Amino acid sequence: MSQSNLFLSYEQLLEVFNLTHTATAIHVGETAIIQTANDAMLKIWGKDRSVIGKSLEEALPELKGQPFIDMFRRVWLEGLVISGQDTAADLIINGELKTFYFDFEYRAIKDNQGKTICILHTAVDVSERVLKHEALERAMEREEALQREQTLNEELATTVEELESTNEELVATNEELHETQEKLRLLNNDLELRVVERFNQLSESEQRFKTMAEGTDIFIKVDDEHGNAIYFNNLWTTLTGRSMNDLLAFGWADLIHPEDRDRYLNTYFSALAEKKPFTGEFRILTKKGDYRWLLANGPPRFHADGSFAGYISSCIDITERKLIELERLNLNKLIEASSEFIALAGLDMTIQYLNPAALKKLGWDNIANRNILDCIFPADRPASQKFLPEILQRINFRQEIRFWNEKTGNPFWIEWNGFAIKDQETGKLTAIASVSPDITERKLYQEELQAINMEMAAANEELATTNEELAQTHEGLIQYAKKLADSEERLLQAIDTGRMGTWSINPKTLEITVSGFVKNLLGLPLNEPVTLDLIMRAINPGYHDMLNRAFTEALKNHSPSDNEYLINNLITGEEKWVRTTGRVFVDHQGNATEYSGLFMDITEQKLDELRKNDFIGMVSHELKTPLTAINGFVQVLQRKARKDEDNYAMIALDKAYNQIRKMTTMINGFLNVSRLESGKLLIEKTDFSLDQLLKEIIEETYISQSSHEIIFEPTCEVTIHADRDKIGNVISNLISNGIKYSDNNTRIEINCDIHGQEVEVQIKDEGMGINPEDIDKLFERYYRVKGNHTISGFGIGLYLSAEIIERHGGRIWAESEEGKGSVFHFTLPLN
């Protein structure tokens, strides 16, 4: 016989289980639903097997009001073991309610994760043993009483003789006792009147306390000297939904949030042991199923003789304050993690707060005894001392200023954006807060451009002077030619010094002329004519379409161009980054005569930028892993909170999920910028329906946003050839911006029209609008609209959108009127 044949079947095990003499049952759930029970347990209950599957209260209604059902609930919820000996229970047997006595145990059975899966219930009927024990005790008590009576009779016999001898003395003193008794009667009457008066005073005092406790909006609770609650005012029953008897019978501690219970009870019992005042915060379960924060304060109370009588504790609801504290904590974490320069300064220019990024930029360890002037580059301080007091008195200001790092001695530029902090009660200005981006790179570029412009202006002045001389004499013409040559030579020298060259294209013949610097950089023959085919061979193929579009656009609209791209030297094969700027020159009839500009080697600058973008991309990618894990944990907790109907946890977890979603969006934005500027943002084109994509994005928006009305009438059922995901990102970003910058319950209108060989999408909002001076800069990287820095974002959404649309050969622009909303447009080619 195999070993497996030795094991009993489920039916055999159940039969053995039913034959055991120990009454045993298995229950599941808070209501102790009977999973199974053996014959011994059914005999104790006086029931048959029809009770299987019922809750304990349904099977044994007589247990209602007895403690056993609540014991089962605690064992299920808390995973406990509760047992008792000689415990009385009233059960209906054969239609008659009788009292029985049991030794019992309720044991929680758990799985590997510690979760209760059932309750093992065993019981032994010890009624006979208890009743015999009680009968034996009564018999012993009667025997002891008889012995005491016999002993007393003997003592009485002895004392009778003594009493007879003293009877005469008692008769003599009887008269004295009679007189004393009369005096005592009079004194007793007086004491009874005083006791009645004192009792009435105490009753009135207790009534006044209860009237005051029930009429206040403070939660009042009274405890005795042992820490047991003896009174709750009506606010407690209104908040918790429990009656006074329930609160007193089952205690109030089980209503405290599990995370706060041990901490608060330790505070309470420590104070009780020393009879000292206590203070504590805790969350209490309400009848709605959520939790409210209470702040408890308990001074001790004493009897008239100075003995400890317990506590009269008062609690106030501080839920709103705690929620504000949590939101403030989240805001502080964001500020601490921000890479921008964030500061708070007093009106006397003292520094009150700097975030870690600001401290690092300044090279400071702390802000002790620091003021705004310490931040400013020493060379700029004399001028700053004149305008700083005026700036600090404004409600809002914007100033470009140089700060410096004390450790390195290097200055850096920031765009100092300040706004006022006012006292909520008086409305007076108390401090100035600022959130300022680092604009050093932009300022350096502006300075380089300004230097070039100054050189060009100087050359123009020389040319103008020479012009006057040319008009006077032929000799002047010769001198002008010499000066012009010298000026041109100096200009070319300046260009060569700045690692720049010049280029020119004849729009009619497409003849190309480039300087020696350009030829050397591209690896072109120095003494041979330059052809367009030769130049395009040196330019990375990935940028050919971009340059063709720029050339076409410049000749068509006479617009300036500014492009960055990769080249490979045709001789050495060396890879470099270059930047070309150009403009179209026209004759008096408006016809293009020349398209020319500068050709600059920006390899070193670009490599620094690419390294920075690679670092940003690496950090952003590494951040996504823990953020994904956190998102998963939050979703698990959300499901648990919904299952437990924990409203407070659901609200807090929803806020945490929204913050995670915002961080994910920001990280994806930085990652896309890094890929874009590193040339790794791939455009994978497929054919798809534009109307269908718009509908999908709108549906996704409604899932996460329900505060605005989005209106879309499908009007262009066209199929376009483009990157569906990236065009979807552009549409989603424009809709999100419309929602973010407009009030709740306003409309977002989306339209789609076909114009010739292109399709145009319009997204219109009813928001705050945009200043005209900001319109042209909206699509620049990291640009933020003035006055809107209270709205989260880093200014990369529109920049990415513009790059994606341009790489599809389309256009993107905005129209706006302040106070009336904005319209964002973008086009895509149909062919």
Q: How many CB atoms lie within 10 A of CB 471?
A: 10
* Residue of 345 and 449 predicted with greater confidence: 345
- pLDDT-derived band at 477, boundaries 50, 70, 90: very low
- Write out the two tokens for 80: 């406990």
Residues 768 and 695 grouped into a single domain:
yes
Q: Are 518 and 502 in contact (CB under 8 A)?
A: yes
Phi, then psi, of 735 in degrees rounded to 5: -65, -45
Condensed to tens digits (0 to 9), the pLDDT of residues 252-293 reads: 788 889 999 899 889 989 999 999 999 999 999 998 888 999
Q: DSSP H helical segments within 241-289, as ranges?
A: 244-250, 258-274
760 HSE (CA, 13 A, CB side)? 13
Most confident of 1-10, 162-171, 629-638: 629-638
Of the candidates 795, 756, 766, 814, the one whose C-alpha atom is nearest the C-alpha of residue 826 is 814
* Residue of 297 and 152 predicted with greater confidence: 297
Residues 165 and 273 grouped into a single domain:
yes
Q: Are 597 and 579 in contact (CB under 8 A)?
A: no
**Considering only 55-64, 460-469, 693-702, which range has the smallest mean pLDDT?**
460-469
In this structure, is residue 133 part of a structural domain? no
Which of 606, 626, 648 corresponds to the end of one domain?
606
- Judge if pTM exceeds 0.75: no
pLDDT of residue 662: 67
- pLDDT-derived band at 1, boundaries 50, 70, 90: very low
pLDDT at 430 over 50: yes
- pLDDT-derived band at 638, boundaries 50, 70, 90: confident
- Write out the two tokens for 501: 């060259």
Number of domains making up the chain: 6
Residues 602 and 665 grouped into a single domain:
no
Of the candidates 74, 102, 73, 106, the one whose C-alpha atom is nearest the C-alpha of residue 89 is 102
200 HSE (CA, 13 A, CB side)? 6
- Cα(217)–Cα(233) distance, rounded to whole angstroms? 10
In this structure, is residue 718 part of a structural domain? yes
- Cα(96)–Cα(111) distance, rounded to whole angstroms? 40
H or E element, residue 702: helix 690-704
- Cα(417)–Cα(448) distance, rounded to whole angstroms? 25
Residues 754 and 780 grouped into a single domain:
yes
In this structure, is residue 733 part of a structural domain? yes
User: Mean pLDDT over residues 130-155, rounded?
Assistant: 79
Which of 322, 356, 375 corresponds to the end of one domain?
322
Residues 692 and 764 grouped into a single domain:
yes
* Residue of 485 and 777 predicted with greater confidence: 777
- pLDDT-derived band at 238, boundaries 50, 70, 90: confident
Looking up tokens 């490599």 gives 607
pLDDT of residue 515: 85
* Residue of 547 and 148 predicted with greater confidence: 547
Of the candidates 674, 724, 668, 731, the one whose C-alpha atom is nearest the C-alpha of residue 699 is 731
Phi, then psi, of 761 in degrees rounded to 5: -110, 135
Residues 64 and 172 grouped into a single domain:
no
User: Mean pLDDT over residues 721-734, rounded?
Assistant: 88
Q: How many CB atoms lie within 10 A of CB 341?
A: 25
**Considering only 45-59, 208-222, 405-419, 765-779, which range has the smallest mean pLDDT?**
208-222
Condensed to tens digits (0 to 9), the pLDDT of residues 305-318 reads: 888 989 988 898 88
In this structure, is residue 456 part of a structural domain? no
Residues 172 and 317 grouped into a single domain:
yes
The single-letter code of the amino acid at 489 is: E
Q: Is 346 helix (H, G, I), strand (E, B) or coil?
A: strand
pLDDT at 195 over 50: no
- Cα(536)–Cα(15) distance, rounded to whole angstroms? 91
Residues 159 and 243 grouped into a single domain:
yes
Of the candidates 119, 125, 115, 124, the one whose C-alpha atom is nearest the C-alpha of residue 35 is 119
pLDDT of residue 277: 93
Condensed to tens digits (0 to 9), the pLDDT of residues 662-673 reads: 677 666 666 565
- Cα(668)–Cα(617) distance, rounded to whole angstroms? 9
Instruction: Provide the residue range defining the domain that includes 173.
Output: 154-322
DSSP letter string, 313-334: EEEEE-HHHHHHHHHHHHHHHH
- pLDDT-derived band at 331, boundaries 50, 70, 90: low
**How many whole angstroms from its chain centre is CA 418?**
25
Residues 177 and 205 grouped into a single domain:
yes
**Considering only 93-102, 186-195, 713-722, which range has the smallest mean pLDDT?**
186-195
pLDDT of residue 675: 55
| Residue % of the chain over a pLDDT of 90 | 14
- pLDDT-derived band at 792, boundaries 50, 70, 90: very low
In angstroms, how far apart are the furthest CA atoms of the chain? 171
Condensed to tens digits (0 to 9), the pLDDT of residues 572-608 reads: 888 888 889 998 888 888 888 898 888 888 888 777 6
Can you give the C-alpha Rg of the chain in angstroms?
45
Average pLDDT, the chain: 79
- pLDDT-derived band at 107, boundaries 50, 70, 90: very high
Residues 748 and 652 grouped into a single domain:
no
* Residue of 302 and 424 predicted with greater confidence: 302
Of the candidates 526, 522, 550, 525, the one whose C-alpha atom is nearest the C-alpha of residue 536 is 522
Q: How many CB atoms lie within 10 A of CB 620?
A: 20
Q: Are 27 and 118 in contact (CB under 8 A)?
A: yes
Phi, then psi, of 682 in degrees rounded to 5: -85, 140
Residues 211 and 310 grouped into a single domain:
yes
- Cα(762)–Cα(743) distance, rounded to whole angstroms? 20
In this structure, is residue 280 part of a structural domain? yes
In this structure, is residue 744 part of a structural domain? yes
* Residue of 159 and 633 predicted with greater confidence: 633
Which of 404, 421, 438 corresponds to the end of one domain?
438
User: Mean pLDDT over residues 2-6, rounded?
Assistant: 51
- Cα(198)–Cα(493) distance, rounded to whole angstroms? 112
Cα separations in angstroms, 141 against 127, 146, 147, 148, 152 = 21, 9, 10, 10, 16
- Cα(433)–Cα(421) distance, rounded to whole angstroms? 7
In this structure, is residue 637 part of a structural domain? yes
H/E/C letters for each residue in 357-383?
A: HHHHHHCCCCCCCCEHHHHECHHHHHH
User: Mean pLDDT over residues 230-238, rounded?
Assistant: 86
Looking up tokens 């492009």 gives 563
Q: How many CB atoms lie within 10 A of CB 58?
A: 13
- pLDDT-derived band at 481, boundaries 50, 70, 90: very low
pLDDT of residue 111: 87
- pLDDT-derived band at 43, boundaries 50, 70, 90: confident
pLDDT of residue 826: 94
| CATH number for the domain harbouring residue 738 | 3.30.565.10
Residues 595 and 622 grouped into a single domain:
no
Q: Is 504 helix (H, G, I), strand (E, B) or coil?
A: strand
Burial class of 639 by CB neighbour count within 10 A (0 to 12, 13 to 18, 19+): exposed
| CATH number for the domain harbouring residue 416 | 3.30.450.20
Q: Are 311 and 299 in contact (CB under 8 A)?
A: yes
- Write out the two tokens for 555: 């000749």
pLDDT at 199 over 60: no
Condensed to tens digits (0 to 9), the pLDDT of residues 736-748 reads: 888 888 888 888 9
In this structure, is residue 14 part of a structural domain? yes
H or E element, residue 758: strand 758-764
